Amino acid sequence: MPLKCRMECAAGNGEEYSLFDYLNSKEGAYILSIFSEVKEYLTAKQAAEYYGLKVRKNGTACCPFHNDRHPSMKIDKNYHCFACGAGGDAVDYASRMFGLSQYDAALKLIEDFQLPISVRGKTAFNEHEKARITKEKAEKERI
């Protein structure tokens, strides 16, 4: 039995789609292409270093997602923490780091790294969102 979910399509008619149908639609393919394009340009290591994580030459770092005194995270194209189990790619790293959705994290990476990826709709964070993210980052550094 296919998973059915009610999604607003571009026409706004509220039709019922299966998740597979949505991902095969133009809208679903567009969202997937943003993630795949970001992953082509960035590794988790590049994103982590940009956002302040100190990565050792051997690719290990102290995990920013729990209180870590000894390096327990291996980071390269993807990352994985052997202590808390956190793992993923560059988009997932930004999402966890700043408490954003995956889509907003992809937009943040596109904006911060000035990637040549065209984005429909929301192209940049507004000033309120930028201030909130800066405040959260400062709070994490303070702790």
pLDDT attached to residue 6: 43
The model's pLDDT over 15-24, given as tens digits with 9 standing for 90+, comes to: 555 555 555 5
Q: Please tell me the distance from the alpha carbon of residue 124 to that of residue 113, in angstroms, as a whole number.
A: 12
d(CA 126, CA 40): 26
- Mean pLDDT (whole number) for 111-136: 73
Q: Of 129, 61, 56, 67, which Cα lies nearest the Cα of 98? A: 129
Hunting for tokens 């400062």 — which residue is that? 138
pLDDT (mean) for 46-65: 96
Does residue 28 carry a pLDDT above 60? no
* Res. 133: pLDDT tops 80: no
pLDDT of residue 91: 96
Residue 91 vs residues 37, 83, 94: alpha-carbon distances, Å:
11, 21, 5
Q: Which of 41-45, 74-78, 99-103, 129-133 has the lowest mean pLDDT?
A: 129-133
Give mean pLDDT, residues 114-143: 70
Percentage of the chain modeled with pLDDT above 90: 52
